[in-house]
Structure 1
Amino acid sequence: MNSLADTAAGLASVRQDALSLFQAGITAADPYQAVKRHLAPELFNGYSKVHLIAFGKAACAMAQAAAEIVPAGMLAGKGIAVTNYDNVTDVDNVDVFGASHPLPDTAGLNGAKLIAERVLNAQQHELVLVLVSGGGSALIPYPADQITLQEKIAATDLLLASGATINQINCVRKHLSRLKGGGLARMAAPAHLHALILSDVLGDDLSAIASGPTVADDTTYADAIDILKAKDIWQQIPANVRKHLEQGQSGAIAETPKPGDSIFNHTEHTLIGSNSISVNAMLQSARKLDYAAELYSGHLCGEAGEEAEKLVLHAKALTINKPTALLAGGETTVTLKGDGRGGRNQEIALAFAIAAEKYNLTDNWVFLSGGTDGRDGPTDAAGGIVDRHTIKRMTEAGISPIERLKNNDSYHALKASGDLLNTGATGTNVADLQILLIQPAP
């Protein structure tokens, strides 16, 4: 790869490389192909019927692949798939329902009830085939008896705004739900259950993916209460939610199924895709483009703004004498302090551009951070893609980057500079990907 001069054309080429690498990561998490690779026809031997259940952002693609593999005549009625509205597509022999993400809605509740009804009717010697992908926690809300959907939404909203990690959010969700935290597996017994799981959780903890509806839960009601108190939102949580958690802590309500519970004797899981698989695909693609490619982090987490500054300082300390790619996968957090619009990927992109200006990162660089599902927070963007001229473009548009960052308004800042990453819904979800490409300064 020839050294690129600091020209608009040269920078455009590097930006295109970043987009290409991001697409390679998404392709590696293609849910249809992942199911095709892992679902063998012999799995169905010995069962009289197969109940096909799918939920998450990749539900339609996964269900389509499974419906093509399940032997003809074995499906126990039409399958059920619940996905976010953007990813709704027709699937043969499957009833598809759209629902809201990241905050749940009534459509998701209705889908969850249909899933519960189907699974509760499964009999011994029948197979419940569950296809799980990221987003499942919000897409199939089924609150515990004394909690309304609106109360659960309010609790989820507070958690999302508090800077809680995905594991902390899922711990609370499990203890407000009938399906999560092994609840679906409990409903399926005595039928056999096999789950194919596309992971959007770093480290691929199966109990955290979609809040682990088919997996034993080692967290407790007490853990959920501790999280809400540590985030200083316990008193803001609806009273019925607090009452439910306190009753669970006292033993008046049964705990979620724990490791060793007999209901898991006939439950199996197969991990078919993950963030690490996508990061590795990006590494290989970067090397094919003649970048010196390195893994910066396989578990990028922490506050988005702080992580952006750390990455800038890391890049600043490198000796760049050839095109270099620093790649990462993860899921940062944002503690909301303003009332702007954006998501964690847009925030880390804006913060990176500000920090690069602050620390005088002079090489030609492009930084991309995007959600593999194509949706970053409550916006229509997947994330952001910034370069060494981003701050200049913002200021020329009358935007104060620092003030926008303080107000958590990364969306409008990046929109003004033409640096939003827009992919549309991708049909998959394996957390976030980060790409920093650096060309030696001429």
Structure 2
Amino acid sequence: MRRILLQDGPGRVGRDGLADAALSILEAGLQAVEPGEAVRRTVRREGERLYAGGREYPLEGGRVLLLAAGKAAGGMAAALEEILAGKLAGGLVTLPAGAAPPRLSLPVRMAGHPLPDEASERCGKEVVRLLRDARSEDLVLVALSGGASALWSLPAPGIGLANLRETTRLLLASGAPIEEINAVRKHLDLLKGGGMPLLAPSVRWLCLILSDVVGDRLDLIASGPTMPDPSRFSDAWRVLERRGLLGRVPTAVRARLADGLAGKLPETLKAGSPQFERVQNVCVASAQDALDAILRSARARGFAAACLTSSLQGEASQVGLVLGNILREEAVYGRPLPLPCALVAAGETTVRIVGEGKGGRNLELGLSAASRITGLDRVLLASLASDGVDGTSGVAGALVDGTTWSIAESLGLDPDGCLARNDSLAFFQAVGGLLQTGWTGTNVNDFSLLLAQ
């Protein structure tokens, strides 16, 4: 089981049994979305037949190729290599640079994340080569998880990697949610928005997806390379307008989107396109599985437990204030649940980057929440990135309690200033409360756990 470690500090943040309970509860959530087990629950083989998503896939007569990308690609690919022992004819596995490389028979590549790099483009071209050599009797297995959008890149003609990279950077810094970012990326990158079936329309496709997006919209995961795209050039243009980026993105990006608006370029593939007749997309695990395990674990420890939402979105610092207020309500009035209680929220907040500090959405959420629970006893909030990497912090998240804010002030820190500078990492390095897991090998949103006794 993946362990979560709590960094000590000068005060007593998290130094009680409540913190130990919180870490164990969150660990149960991570265990429930281990990617290899998720694949094994979904896919089975009986001789020369493969079964997944209610369909049967004959394995004789053609080759089986495996293309895997994302933060969970290693575990997913390892399980599929085990299931398909002796049948895999080739493929490619791509993980974010810095992830622990798995031991696989297939080639494993590391590429840039969250911004695509030269390795991402090389992987994109390798995917194209493998697919263009595929024949109609072949089965192409695709294993996708969060992060794959950056790991495989094939910039559209006239765009180039540098322009795609800069546009992605601007969108991320603006605090745009994933659906807006992907609406743009799908119209600048040929592998995204249903682009893969265009490269090999006659083969059989089975895409296994570990969901990391709110609502499990499969067209958003990895920018939907095997899914119909509901967005249009006009949506991508409006995103840049809404975020004040039209005048800041590279000229080539603006020109391509303008050509698309004018009907000079073909749209991405939409629902009902014949290219999807031989494609099946199956979600193998999501935040819902982790939430169920978190609630079971909390109840087993004697907490009344409930899910606040599985669609947590918004600016991280503002969401932190809301969750902090909910925790205060529990501590002071014993509602909405009787004490002791555990409340959990899953989703993905955003951070608008205006400062030069280091941090992440979970750290900012926790820091903001600390202001609402200061002085309270027997309460805590732990916010965790399920992939183990929260923004630029190098850690997985943070834990705060009723002492966090006062400890910071006793050290001469300005918590509000840290938030304003996007410098939440420095705050928690001084105060304590950082959560560390290393790369978890999975990715299904973030989790905020509220405990009160």
TM-score norm. by structure 1 comes to 0.94
SS in 2 for 1:27: helix
Deviation at 1:23, TM superposition (A): 1.1
After superposition, give the CA deviation of every residue in 1:179-216 in whole Å (9 maximum; x if it has no partner): 01000122121101100100001111110011100000
Map of 2:382 onto structure 1: 368
Distance 1:257 1:220 in 2: 10
SS in 2 for 1:130: strand
Percent identical across equivalent pairs?
A: 39
In the alignment, structure 1 residue 399 sits paired with structure 2 residue 403: no
CA contact (8 A) 1:329 1:432 kept: yes
Map of 1:378 onto structure 2: 392
One of 410, 434, 438 as aligned partner of 2:424:
410
Map of 1:298 onto structure 2: 310
Which of the two has greater helix per residue?
A: 1
One of 340, 354, 365 as aligned partner of 1:348:
365
In the alignment, structure 1 residue 35 sits paired with structure 2 residue 39: yes
Deviation at 1:46, TM superposition (A): 5.0
One of 323, 332, 345 as aligned partner of 2:340:
323
Structure 2: any 5+ residue segments left out of the alignment? 1-10, 51-56
SS in 2 for 1:337: coil
Change in Cα spacing, 1:140 to 1:55, as seen in structure 2 (3 Å) is same
After superposition, give the CA deviation of every residue in 1:206-228 in whole Å (9 maximum; x if it has no partner): 10011100000010011000001
In the alignment, structure 1 residue 103 sits paired with structure 2 residue 107: no
Change in Cα spacing, 1:281 to 1:413, as seen in structure 2 (3 Å) is same
Deviation at 1:364, TM superposition (A): 1.6
Map of 1:336 onto structure 2: 353
Amino acid in the other structure paired with 1:81: V
Map of 1:156 onto structure 2: 168
In the alignment, structure 1 residue 51 sits paired with structure 2 residue 40: no
CA contact (8 A) 1:88 1:96 kept: no
Map of 1:235 onto structure 2: 247
Deviation at 1:389, TM superposition (A): 1.1
SS in 2 for 1:259: coil
Map of 1:12 onto structure 2: 16
Map of 2:84 onto structure 1: 70
Distance 2:393 2:111 in 1: 16
CA contact (8 A) 1:128 1:188 kept: no
Map of 1:3 onto structure 2: none
Amino acid in the other structure paired with 1:45: P
Distance 1:282 1:379 in 2: 25
CA contact (8 A) 2:324 2:371 kept: no
SS in 1 for 2:412: coil
Distance 1:399 1:93 in 2: 51
Map of 2:54 onto structure 1: none
SS in 2 for 1:195: strand
Map of 2:29 onto structure 1: 25
Deviation at 1:96, TM superposition (A): 0.3
Deviation at 1:246, TM superposition (A): 1.0
Question: Where in structure 2 are the equivalents of 1:80-159 lying within 5 Å?
Answer: 80-159=92-171
CA contact (8 A) 1:63 1:91 kept: no
TM-score norm. by structure 2 comes to 0.91
Deviation at 1:388, TM superposition (A): 1.1
Amino acid in the other structure paired with 2:178: I
After superposition, give the CA deviation of every residue in 1:219-260 in whole Å (9 maximum; x if it has no partner): 001100000100111100010111111111212221111100
One of 245, 255, 275 as aligned partner of 1:263:
275
CA contact (8 A) 2:381 2:449 kept: yes
Alpha carbon RMSD of aligned pairs, Å? Answer: 1.6
SS in 2 for 1:94: coil
Distance 2:392 2:246 in 1: 24
Distance 1:331 1:90 in 2: 27
Distance 2:429 2:211 in 1: 30
Distance 2:85 2:229 in 1: 33
SS in 2 for 1:384: strand
Distance 1:350 1:436 in 2: 14
SS in 1 for 2:17: helix
Map of 1:4 onto structure 2: none
Deviation at 1:314, TM superposition (A): 2.2
CA contact (8 A) 2:146 2:443 kept: yes
After superposition, give the CA deviation of every residue in 1:56-87 in whole Å (9 maximum; x if it has no partner): 01111111110111151x3223x210011232
Deviation at 1:9, TM superposition (A): 10
Map of 1:388 onto structure 2: 402
Map of 1:438 onto structure 2: 452
CA contact (8 A) 2:13 2:404 kept: no
Distance 2:274 2:432 in 1: 55
CA contact (8 A) 1:60 1:87 kept: no
SS in 2 for 1:142: coil
Q: Which runs of at least 4 in structure 1 moved beyond 3 Å after TM superposition?
A: 7-11
Map of 2:301 onto structure 1: 289
In the alignment, structure 1 residue 309 sits paired with structure 2 residue 321: yes
Deviation at 1:11, TM superposition (A): 4.3
Change in Cα spacing, 1:335 to 1:375, as seen in structure 2 (3 Å) is same
Deviation at 1:395, TM superposition (A): 2.3
Change in Cα spacing, 1:9 to 1:350, as seen in structure 2 (3 Å) is closer
